[in-house]
């Protein structure tokens, strides 16, 4: 099987006059594991459904391997979809469920048997071929749904939160399995999720979406360590985001005023002088103890410890730096529970390299910086921690 390349050009869709997707451009290379990541309601599923053909775009182009398929019905597209709900036929065996789509392709009995066997082997379900879906766990049912989609040999597999109904431990296991299956079959996977850890674990590339638009596209390492906007920085992992004023900027670096001091930071491209924001990941900050040497090339931010939170593998130290929110420093507990000696009230210096501070463009979409706020956004309530 080979992977199909997808190109979306200025794709737009509104429901009852309310925009869901507002002119997005995406270039998805064949054979990639490509994730659409974003909070609930940002337009991920609508984008996926337009690629599948279940939803008709108001405008724009959908190209599959260079051919515009926007006018083709779903069954004429070399694309298949796996949903969060497995939608297996309850009275059919696992093998018959997987074979179902092949009936309509007039596949011979022998070939059907061979292809079903291969598909079940791929998802490690060969021993369950005779069972009914009701006799399987949720994870096993989703593996069968995956086999049923792959047996048809699509060039592109669309996956809409396929692990959403599973518990956290099983999710993590299936993330790795799905990634392995994608590598083995080599076709393009377009994966919709609101779970940033899932997207980071599995993807070759991630498109972060917000408010019907694409905020940033890149490989996981780039999206996490060099976010372009306040929204992307806040959505992926823990982030210290503060207001900043860019004083001067050259290609790749900038001098800013932030946290009541001068901060040297990295920037994607060039940032014009003026209001912006900076992000520093908690694990990129070193907490200095009195007497430690300070590397002159690094940023030093002074403050007072306000809280120390022990998390097992690491300790979070909250440092009051004279801003509405504390600077959070994550200290790995290399030396066990006593790795952090500072107590609340201690004067500290926080050290971070220029590369660890990134200049961000302010997003028009509210920034989500903690999981509680994230879940509130998902349920349609307002987010108290949004900026």
Q: Which tokens belong to 181? A: 């299956």
319 near 309, Cβ under 8 Å?
no
The verdict on 218 binding ligand ATP (CB under 6 A) reads no
DSSP assignment letter at 260:
T
Report the nearest approach of ligand ATP to the CB of residue 235 (Å): 12
User: Binder to ligand ATP among 2, 40, 173, 347 (CB under 6 A)?
Assistant: 40
Span near ligand ATP by CB under 6 A; candidates 37-45, 108-116, 329-337, 341-349: 37-45
Q: How far is 288 from 286, CA to CA, in rounded Å?
A: 6
Q: 157 by DSSP, 3-state: which?
A: strand
Radius of gyration of the CA atoms of the chain, in A = 24
43 forms part of the interface with ligand ATP (CB under 6 A): yes
> Binder to ligand ATP among 6, 20, 98, 226 (CB under 6 A)?
20
Asked whether position 375 contacts ligand ATP by CB under 6 A, the answer is no
* Binding range to ligand ATP, per CB under 6 A, among 39-47, 124-132, 232-240, 241-249: 39-47
Closer Cβ to ligand ATP, 10 or 137, answer by number: 10
Choosing from 2, 10, 15, 248, the residue that interacts with ligand ATP (CB under 6 A) is 15
Of 180, 190, 110, residue with least CA distance to 154:
190
For ligand ATP, which is the closer residue by CB, 43 or 234? 43
Stretch that binds ligand ATP, among 44-52, 197-205, 269-277, 326-334 (CB under 6 A): 44-52
Output the smallest distance, CB 43 to ligand ATP, in A: 4
Point out which span in 41-49, 86-94, 270-278, 341-349 binds ligand ATP (CB under 6 A): 41-49
Q: Is 181 exposed, middle or buried (0-12, 13-18, 19+ CB in 10 A)?
A: buried
**Binding of ligand ATP by 190 (CB under 6 A):** no
Residues 6 or more apart whose CB falls under 8 angstroms from that of 296 comprise none
Is residue 44 near ligand ATP by the rule CB under 6 A?
yes
- Considering only 32, 45, 230, 361, the residue that binds ligand ATP (CB under 6 A) is 45
In whole angstroms, the minimum distance from the beta carbon of 141 to ligand ATP comes to 20
Instruction: Select from 35-43, 165-173, 274-282, 312-320 the region that touches ligand ATP (CB under 6 A).
Output: 35-43
Q: Token pair for residue 334?
A: 């290399």
- For residue 97, state whether it binds ligand ATP (rule: CB under 6 A): no
Residues 6+ apart with CB under 8 A from 360: 227, 228, 229, 230, 233, 241, 276, 277, 278, 279
What is the full DSSP assignment across 39-94? STTSSHHHHHHHHHTSS--SEEEEEETTEE-TTS-GGGSSEEEE-SS----TTS-H
Residues 6+ apart with CB under 8 A from 377: 39, 40, 368, 383, 386
Of 350-369, binders to ligand ATP (CB under 6 A) are none
* Of positions 143, 148, 155, 194, contacts ligand ATP by CB under 6 A: 194
**Least distance in angstroms from the C-beta of 147 to ligand ATP:** 24
**Packing angle, helices 168-185 and 138-150, rounded to 10:** 20
Could you list the residues that contact ligand ATP (CB under 6 A)?
A: 15, 20, 38, 40-46, 194
């Amino acid at each position: 099987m080979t992977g199909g390349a997808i190109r979306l050009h200025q794709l737009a869709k509104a429901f009852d006059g309310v925009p869901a997707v507002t002119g997005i451009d995406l270039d998805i290379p064949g054979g990639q594991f490509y994730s659409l990541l974003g909070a609930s309601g940002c337009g991920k599923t609508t984008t996926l459904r337009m690629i599948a053909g279940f939803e008709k775009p108001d405008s724009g182009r959908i190209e599959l391997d260079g051919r515009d398929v926007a006018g083709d019905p779903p069954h004429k597209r070399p694309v298949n979809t796996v949903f969060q709900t497995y939608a297996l036929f309850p009275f059919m065996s696992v093998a018959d469920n997987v074979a179902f789509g092949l009936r309509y392709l007039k596949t011979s009995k022998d070939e059907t048997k061979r292809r079903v066997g291969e598909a079940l082997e791929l998802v490690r379900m060969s021993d369950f071929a005779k069972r009914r879906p009701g006799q399987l766990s949720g994870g096993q049912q989703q593996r069968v749904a995956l086999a049923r989609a792959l047996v048809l040999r699509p060039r592109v597999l669309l996956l809409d939160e396929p692990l959403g109904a599973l518990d956290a431990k099983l999710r993590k296991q299936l993330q790795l399995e799905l990634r392995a299956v994608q590598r083995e079959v080599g076709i393009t996977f377009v994966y919709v999720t609101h779970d940033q850890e899932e997207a980071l674990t599995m993807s070759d590339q991630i498109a972060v979406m917000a408010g019907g638009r694409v905020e940033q596209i890149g490989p996981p390492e780039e999206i996490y360590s060099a976010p372009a906007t306040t929204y992307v920085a806040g959505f992926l992992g823990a982030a210290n985001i503060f207001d900043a004023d860019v004083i001067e900027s050259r290609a790749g670096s900038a001098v800013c005023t932030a946290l009541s001091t001068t901060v040297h930071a990295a920037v994607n491209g060039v940032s014009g002088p003026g209001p912006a924001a900076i992000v520093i990941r908690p694990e990129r900050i070193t907490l200095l103890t009195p007497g430690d040497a300070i590397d002159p090339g690094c940023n030093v931010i002074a403050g007072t410890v306000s809280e120390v939170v022990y998390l097992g593998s690491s300790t979070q130290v909250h440092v009051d730096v004279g801003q509405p929110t504390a600077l959070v420093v994550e200290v790995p507990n290399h030396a066990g529970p006593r790795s952090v000696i500072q107590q609340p009230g201690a004067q500290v210096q926080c050290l971070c390299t220029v590369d660890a501070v990134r200049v961000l463009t302010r997003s028009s979409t509210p920034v989500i910086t903690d999981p509680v706020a994230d879940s509130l956004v998902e349920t349609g309530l307002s987010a108290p921690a949004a900026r």
